[in-house]
Every structure is written in C-alpha cells, then in structure tokens.
Amino acid sequence: MRFMIIVKATRDSEAGIMPTTELLTAMGAYNEELVKAGIMLAGDGLHPSTKGARVQFDGEKRAVVDGPFAETKELIAGFWIWQCKSREEAIEWVKRCPNPMPGPSEIEIRQIFEAADFGEEFTPELREQEERVWAEAKKNSG
C-alpha cells in the first residue's frame, strides 16, 4: 500500500521561516532511516502558499487565485510518498518522525488509490494507458 504523508503548514512555515540546522539534521537522519527500511518513495518540502496558485473550476470556466491562502491549518508544507504494509505501519513510522515544525504541528496520513480500488470501471484499456503514462513520467523524472 502506498501512502501520502502530509506535513501540515503552520504560521511559521507560511511566513517562510526556514528550519534550523538541528531540524534539517534530524529530518535527514529520519529520511535515511525510511530509505534504508524501503519505506520512502519520494518526499519534499513546499514553499509557502504566497508562492502558490489555485485553479478553480466551474464547468468550463477556470479562475486562477494567487496565494497566500487563508486557512493555514488546511495547507501543506511538505510530503512523503511511502510504501507500507498497512495504515498501522505508516502511523508507527510517522510517530517516529522528528517534530517537523518549531512548535505544535500535525502530519496527516492518506492512502493512495491503486488501480484495483477502481473496480470494473477501470477497464483494461485504461490500465494500459495508465501504464504508458507512468512509464513516460518515470523517463521524464530521470
């Protein structure tokens, strides 16, 4: 099972306050541990929402809204993609994580859909298309 581990933003992260050397060191060691355990597939921190944009959809209409965005507690400051045996395993790994922010913080765990989760609606043709798209995306990430 794959999981997206979402590090929630805080006022400090939205203000662009960078982590300390101590936190970067602790997170680097934690990431090494995740990689050695075969858990971590990807992960990165994100710039504050002041540098972001949202595209809103209403039928055929599109509207672009530039950041910053109001609800800090709903924003993402970083993420990992992990491969775990279960939700419980992902929870145990998150509990071992250094606090990603200087003060109170929160990390959310969300399971990523797999092809089998979509049932019969995900036809063999759609599966083949997905495989082609991901193979090309993997080449691009080179």
pLDDT of residue 65: 96
pLDDT of residue 72: 84
3-state secondary structure string across 1-23: CEEEEEEECCHHHHCCCCCCHHH
> Domain map of the chain by residue range?
2-111, 118-142
Tens of pLDDT, residue by residue over 6-52, are 999 999 999 999 999 999 999 999 999 999 999 999 999 999 999 99
Tens of pLDDT, residue by residue over 96-138, are 999 999 999 999 999 999 988 999 999 999 999 999 999 999 8
Strand partners, 80: 5, 43
Identity of the amino acid at 134: W
Evaluate if pTM is beyond 0.75.
Answer: yes
Element (H, E) at 44: strand 40-45
Q: What fold characterizes domain 2-111?
A: Alpha-Beta Plaits (3.30.70)
CB 75 within 8 A of CB 49: yes
